[in-house]
């Protein structure tokens, strides 16, 4: 890759985007074979992969709005990166189609007979949830979620690009005006999307803290993704003097804080449900603490919290780009394991059964996600060149 130091645009983007596109198409084609052979195994694997990459995209949207609302200077050099990640949301809308096609394979509540009192499959508890858990309202809610996310990312992205052409103080105000109500809309839509697409996999169970749990994992994932992208460009000699150790240090501090926050949400959810000892609540944890799912649960406890907590505890660890990169890879792996633990036990209560489709769907959706992200990111200046805080962001030094 080659960077024009004046415009901050890449004059040579390399083959990364092309490789990602080919990878995505090939692995989705392989996954389609799995669908033809075993739809019941394909759809949970696809949902896990889809939500994994969607949470990274939504994390990018949150990071962008957080930057504008707080008026932070240090993160200015990262803004175009998070904007481009959020800009993949239109693609994620298209990739949502297989989830719709697999509705009956994924969600027990989507079967009409469970709402029919004359049917042997009648479920009295779910029948009381029918006003919310019905396919028509499910589609309407999904359309609302994507409309909110795509409009927010689109408005913020277009305003940012106009700033590159000619800066005005009004643009900064507009970015804040959009981000303020956008944060409220983001919180509501992410929460209800997590209810619809993950929690309702087991529609008898519920947790009011579930949306915050998903959000905390998503924010950890976007921080890790940005570390990896920054490290990749740094290794290629791009933006090495713009995204500096000081910025990695701040990302590391945020990641450390949200590792604790994620663990607090996870433990709070578990503790409140477990000591209440209400059967329709605690059974969700019971079969995640049985058979081989117990091992996965322990992997999440130690892998998603203990190891990264201890790893990022020191200042030196947060300022080591190499170590921070390795921790970012680890956190992203644990984020997938966490989502797998949320989705799969509903369909495989007897134990964890890993499939090759878990890998092919992850790489298939991820390849297209990365291709679209990279295409957007490299089509413009890699930093907001006319942002008045850019110079201060480049010179930023941690206390």
pTM listed for this prediction: 0.96
Q: Any idea what DSSP says for residue 8?
A: T
Comparing CA positions, the residue from 64, 143, 46, 181 lying closest to residue 101 is 46
- Judge whether residue 169 has pLDDT over 80: no
Give the C-alpha separation, 51 to 218, whole Å. Answer: 10
In sequence order, the 6+-apart residues with CB closer than 8 A to the CB of 119 are 113
3-state secondary structure of 77: helix
Q: What is the number of helices (H) and of strands (E) in the chain?
A: 18, 2
What percentage of the chain has pLDDT greater than the value 70?
A: 100
3-state secondary structure of 2: strand
Write down the pLDDT at residue 390.
93
Q: Is residue 222 within 8 Å of residue 62, measured between CB atoms? A: yes
Span 371-396, mean pLDDT? 93
Span 319-346, mean pLDDT? 97
Residues in the chain: 399
Write down the pLDDT at residue 371.
97
Q: Is residue 396 within 8 Å of residue 73, measured between CB atoms? A: yes
Write down the pLDDT at residue 27.
98
- Judge whether residue 3 has pLDDT over 80: no
Q: What is the pLDDT of residues 203-240, one digit of tens each?
A: 999 999 999 999 999 999 999 999 999 999 999 889 99
CA angle 176, 245, 231 (to 5 degrees): 90
Q: What is the pLDDT of residues 53-99, one digit of tens each?
A: 999 999 999 999 999 999 999 999 999 999 999 999 999 999 999 99
Give the C-alpha separation, 274 to 288, whole Å. Answer: 13
Give the C-alpha separation, 282 to 77, whole Å. Answer: 45
- Judge whether residue 5 has pLDDT over 80: no
Give the C-alpha separation, 175 to 160, whole Å. Answer: 8
Q: Is residue 307 within 8 Å of residue 330, measured between CB atoms? A: yes
What phi and psi values does residue 7 have, to the nearest 5 degrees? -95, -10
12 forms bridges with which residues in the sheet? Answer: 2
Q: What is the pLDDT of residues 276-330, one digit of tens each?
A: 888 878 889 998 998 899 999 999 999 999 999 999 999 999 999 999 999 999 9
Write down the pLDDT at residue 74.
95
The structure tokens 């970015």 sit at 175
Q: How many CA atoms lie within 13 A of 277 on its CB side?
A: 1
Ramachandran area for residue 119 (φ above 0: left; ψ -120 to 50: alpha; else beta): beta
- Judge whether residue 13 has pLDDT over 90: no
What percentage of the chain has pLDDT greater than the value 90?
A: 81
Got the DSSP string for 262-312?
HHHHHHHHHHHHHHHT-HHHHHHHHTTSSTTHHHHHHHHIIIIIIHHHHHT
- Judge whether residue 164 has pLDDT over 90: no
Write down the pLDDT at residue 165.
84
Write down the pLDDT at residue 107.
95
* Between residues 120 and 152, the one the model is more confident about: 152
What are the extents of the domains in the chain? Answer: 2-394
- Judge whether residue 167 has pLDDT over 80: no
Write down the pLDDT at residue 180.
96
Write down the pLDDT at residue 100.
96
Q: Which two tokens stand for residue 91?
A: 């693609």
Write down the pLDDT at residue 2.
76
């Amino acid at each position: 890759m080659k960077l024009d130091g004046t415009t901050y645009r890449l004059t040579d983007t390399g083959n990364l985007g092309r490789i990602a596109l080919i990878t995505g198409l090939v692995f989705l084609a392989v996954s389609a074979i799995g669908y033809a052979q075993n739809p019941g195994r394909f759809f949970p694997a696809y949902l896990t992969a889809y939500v994994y990459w969607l949470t990274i995209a939504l994390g990018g949207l949150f990071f962008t709005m957080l930057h504008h609302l707080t008026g932070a200077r240090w993160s200015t050099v990262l803004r175009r990166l998070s904007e481009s990640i959020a800009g993949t949301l239109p693609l994620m809308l298209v990739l949502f189609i297989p989830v719709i096609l697999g509705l009956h394979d994924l969600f027990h509540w989507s079967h009409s007979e469970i709402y029919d009192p004359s049917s042997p499959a009648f479920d009295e508890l779910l029948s009381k949830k029918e006003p919310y858990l019905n396919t028509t309202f499910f589609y309407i809610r999904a359309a609302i979620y994507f409309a909110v996310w795509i409009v927010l990312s689109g408005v913020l992205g277009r305003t940012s690009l106009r700033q590159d052409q000619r800066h005005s103080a009004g643009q900064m105000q507009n970015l804040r005006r959009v981000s303020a109500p956008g944060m409220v809309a983001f919180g509501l839509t992410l929460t209800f999307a997590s209810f619809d697409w993950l929690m309702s996999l087991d529609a008898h169970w519920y947790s009011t803290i579930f949306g915050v749990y998903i959000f905390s994992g998503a924010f950890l994932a976007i921080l890790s993704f940005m570390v990896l992208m920054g490290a990749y460009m740094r290794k290629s000699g791009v933006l090495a003097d713009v995204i500096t150790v000081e910025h990695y240090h701040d990302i590391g501090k945020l990641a450390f804080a949200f590792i604790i926050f994620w663990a607090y949400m996870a433990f709070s959810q578990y503790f409140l449900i477990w000591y209440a000892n209400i059967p329709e609540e605690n059974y969700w944890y019971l079969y995640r603490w049985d058979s081989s799912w117990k091992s996965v649960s322990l992997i999440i406890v130690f892998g998603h919290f203990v190891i990264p907590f201890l790893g990022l505890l020191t200042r030196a660890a947060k300022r080591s780009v190499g170590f921070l990169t390795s921790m970012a890879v680890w956190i992203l792996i644990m984020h997938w394991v966490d989502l797998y633990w949320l989705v799969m036990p509903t369909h495989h209560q007897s134990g964890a059964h890993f499939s090759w489709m878990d890998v092919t769907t992850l790489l298939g959706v991820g390849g297209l996600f990365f291709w679209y992200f990279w295409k957007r990111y490299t089509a413009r200046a890699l930093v907001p060149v006319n942002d008045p805080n850019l110079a201060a962001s480049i010179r930023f030094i941690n206390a």
